[in-house]
Amino acid sequence: MSALDTNTLNGRLLFAIPKKGRLHEKCLELLSGADIQFRRHNRLDVALVLNHPIALVFLPASDIPSFVGKGNVDLGITGHDVILEARMESHVTETLRLGFGKCALQVQVPEAGPIHTVDDLAGKRVVTSFEVLSGDYFERLDSRLGKTDADKTSIEYVGGSVEAACALGLADGIVDLVESGETMRAAGLHAIATLLQSEAVLIKSSVPKHPDLTPLISMITSRIAGVIAARKYVVCEYNVRRAGLSAATAITPGRRAPTISPLEDSEWVAVSSMVEKNQMADVMDQLVEIGAEDILIFNLDNCRV
């Protein structure tokens, strides 16, 4: 942690960012899009924002829920899975789902092995870095199967190299995060159950610590929501006959409602609407089918939603 003293941080909004790992680079892109300007000096884990009274605190993602929920940190970005693993869901509020860092926490076993279901794995050895969530899951499973204390599933914590545990004789199965699945397949494993789906989230304390910072928290939250929406949506503009307007707006309903403007030709109107980026080709095809013309797509650099 930086040697910045308490007086330097007083009055500033404290915003916790993962210091490394799968969420770090995406968080930096998000801060840039929200115009949060800072310069982080080498080896320091606190950076003062230049254009707002904010201090960025770089922490392990697993620690961020506790600092936000029980410490003096006002905002943080971490994984949904981390909040549950830290048992902090009652102490923090998930303000925004950020659309990146998506993964699944899954039970995995050797693909060529004798274990095919979680019932087969019950009572055996499981290695994981998610000790709390795995313990809860297998405790419920053991209870359902009538396992006693003597033959219940053994959960062992390993901080890294979880995928190697089965091959190296430490476990019969593992519980770990899966993003693309490449690492899982490379280790000769396959998933037999999913505990939860996760992604990066913006969190704040369930009990505000600094009421005077509430307007700043709302502004930063709004900016980040705008950056996320700009990545997800494009603007679709087109002309359509009034007779086809109902069908057209059913295709492009917008986030709330489309903008409809009259044209000099009274039989036609212009429509502007936000559509999801991954659906824009299908939307354009459907608009052509109902007779829409002059269909244009515009990318969004930023927005407020």
Q: Which domains does the chain have, with CATH numbers?
A: 6-99+201-209 (3.40.190.10), 103-198 (3.40.190.10), 233-299 (3.30.70.120)
pLDDT of residue 221: 96
Mean local confidence (pLDDT), 292-299: 96
H/E run at residue 48: strand 46-48
pLDDT of residue 53: 95
pLDDT of residue 2: 45
User: pLDDT tens digit string along 45-87?
Assistant: 999 999 999 999 999 999 999 999 999 999 999 999 999 999 9
Mean local confidence (pLDDT), 276-301: 96
Cβ–Cβ < 8 Å for 293, 239? yes
pLDDT interval class at 5 (50, 70, 90) = low
pLDDT of residue 8: 65
User: pLDDT tens digit string along 229-287?
Assistant: 999 999 999 999 999 999 999 999 998 999 999 999 999 999 999 999 999 999 999 99
Give residues with Cβ within 8 angstroms of 256, minimum separation 6. Answer: none
- In 3-state terms the chain splits into helix, strand, coil percentages (rounded to 5) of 30, 30, 35
Cα 150 to the center of its chain, rounded Å: 39
Q: From CA 288, how far away is CA 188, in angstroms rounded?
A: 48
pLDDT of residue 1: 45
Q: What are phi and psi of 48, to 5 degrees?
A: -85, 130
pLDDT of residue 7: 64
pLDDT of residue 4: 56
pLDDT of residue 173: 96
Cβ–Cβ < 8 Å for 232, 263? no
pLDDT interval class at 6 (50, 70, 90) = low
Percent of the chain at pLDDT above 70?
97
